[in-house]
Amino acid sequence: MRFTAFGAARNVTGSKHLLSVGPSRVLLDCGLFQGHREESERRNRGFPFEPASIGAVLLSHAHIDHSGSLPSLVKAGFRGRILATGATADLTEVLLRDSAHLQAHDAEYLNAKRRRGEPTVTPVYTPADVEQAVARLTVVDYDRPVQAAPGVSVTYRDAGHILGSSLLEITARERDQTRAIVFTGDLGRPGMPILRDPYQPCEADVLITESTYGAREHASLTAADDRLARFVSRVAARRGKIIIPAFAVGRTQAVLYQLHALMRAGRVPGIPIYVDSPLAIRATELFERHPECFDAEMNALLRRNDDPLGFDRVTYVNDARDSKALGRRQGPMIVVSASGMCEGGRVLHHLREAVGSRRNAIMIVGYQAEGTLGSRIAEGADRVRILGETLALRAEVAVFDELSAHADGRGLAAFAGGFRRAPSSTIVVHGSEENALALARRLSLDGFPRVSVPFDGESFDL
């Protein structure tokens, strides 16, 4: 039995882990690598293994850094099933189509700027490739074991990270050897809005854990609510705009839920909220279609007809002209828009209009990868480059890491410590080097034997 990390090894992108059990090979996630252009090109156009040899993909959740290379995998010869929960399958379909659309758009833009003699840019995959991958999505229920490949069975459990997200309990059998393997995917936090809490499995011989915030400690969600209430009230009082760059899937809905709770409790004024992202609109529709993923609080709100994703203060903006007009409007108001790391999308023109005034504020609610505009804003840079212009950043910047959909160092360690006995080996993936090593150190100090932080392409016997 062997495990190989082919992505998200000492970084957070392109999750792709190969599990070989006897003659069976299954892939845990198949994410797109997102980073500098040349490296992304190289990594996203080929696979370091033979795709036709993979029996099945076990997909933990829909985020593109976990699902975004599925069309390439199918194009390169993969003919097995892609196992996912119903909500993950629906969200993956929407996100993959969006990814093909963005790639076509980028290629068109780069080709228009191309100098003579430079090669033409082509998308990594097309909408037709996406449909081939979507056709292979196979829905599995939570909490019910399924046979993924000979010798490999898997049970999908709640991960509490985004709608449909799962951690995987895998039983691998090779000759007379059986191993219980737990793969966290992206692990959420107890008490997160809308979703049920992460499930705690009892047994694991091998734990493969994410470590996005392995070196960090989030404030409690209650403390986050208090801070959020003070922040929104302060900006509303000076009639400013609050721009919230947020991932269309998950973050946007969680932010709406929290604003709804604060407004209903009268803790912040009921200023207008605009969700300006066609993708977020589609994602929200899918949320409404999967109440089986909701926690008791969310279900109680829906029973009372008080939908936090569609209450009276919220307006969804689909049309691009309405979006432009909204950018020019004065506050007080809240604009939730994508992309989450400010690398593209409609949030850019909102930021361009808003950053110059001290009256406005930018609220950072998600992970910001190094080198992105979002990370420049989060660091409080004096100047930022937006849509080709260098602009002074005078707006207030508030970073709300505590609203993160990822467990922090303490949460990850508590999860790893929640098994009946410590796993005999632990593999730490999906975190920057700093975060992955910090979590590994913490687990080693807690007495976990054999904690490894793989380099890209590194293999382990299980």
Task: Kindly indicate which of the ranges 42-50, 130-138, 178-186, 253-261 contains the residues binding Zn ion, using the contact rule CB under 5 A.
Answer: 178-186
Smallest separation, CB 408 to Zn ion (Å): 15
DSSP per-residue codes, 246-289: --TTTHHHHHHHHHHHHHHTTSS----EEEE-HHHHHHHHHHHH
- Nearer to Zn ion by Cβ, of 25 and 66: the residue is 66
Which of the residues 185 through 204 are near Zn ion (CB under 5 A)?
186
Provide the H-helix boundaries in 179-267: 221-237, 251-264
Distance of CA 166 to the CA centre of its chain: 12
Q: Which is nearer to Zn ion, 98 or 186 (CB)?
A: 186
Q: Which CB atom, from 323 or from 432, has the smaller least distance to Zn ion?
A: 432
Q: Residue 128's CB: how many other CB atoms inside 10 A?
A: 10
Give the DSSP H or E segment for 320: helix 320-328
Provide the 10 A C-beta neighbour count for residue 150. 11
Which lies closer to Zn ion via its Cβ, residue 24 or residue 404? 404
Nearest approach, Cβ of 277 to Zn ion (angstroms)?
A: 18
Q: What whole-number distance in Å separates Cα of residue 168 and Cα of residue 190?
A: 18
Contacts of residue 425, Cβ cutoff 8 Å, sequence gap at least 6: 205, 206, 207, 449, 450, 451, 452, 460, 462
- Give residues 116-135 in contact with Zn ion (rule: CB under 5 A): none
Which is closer to Zn ion, CB of 184 or CB of 323?
A: 184
Structure tokens at 243: 């721009």
Q: Is 210 in the site for Zn ion (CB under 5 A)?
A: no
Per-residue binding letters, 235-264, with Zn ion (x by CB under 5 A): ------------------------------
Cα gap 234→221, rounded to integer Å? 20
| Residue recorded with tokens 């420049």 | 376
Query: Which range touches Zn ion (CB under 5 A), out of 63-71, 73-81, 152-160, 209-217?
Result: 63-71
Q: Report, in Å, the least distance between residue 299 CB and Zn ion.
A: 23
> In the complex with Zn ion, which residue's Cβ is closer, 63 or 349?
63
Q: Which residue lies nearer to Zn ion by CB, 232 or 403?
A: 403
- Closest separation in Å from C-beta 13 to Zn ion: 11
Cα 225–Cα 442–Cα 367 angle in degrees, nearest 5: 40
Query: Which is it for strands 166-174 and 177-183: parallel, antiparallel or unpaired?
Result: antiparallel
Candidate ranges 41-49, 92-100, 181-189, 439-447; the one touching Zn ion (CB under 5 A): 181-189
Cβ of residue 186: shortest distance to Zn ion, in angstroms? 4
| Interface pick for Zn ion out of 16, 17, 43, 63 (rule CB under 5 A) | 63
Closest separation between CB of residue 320 and Zn ion, Å? 28
The residue ranges that bind Zn ion (CB under 5 A) are 63, 186
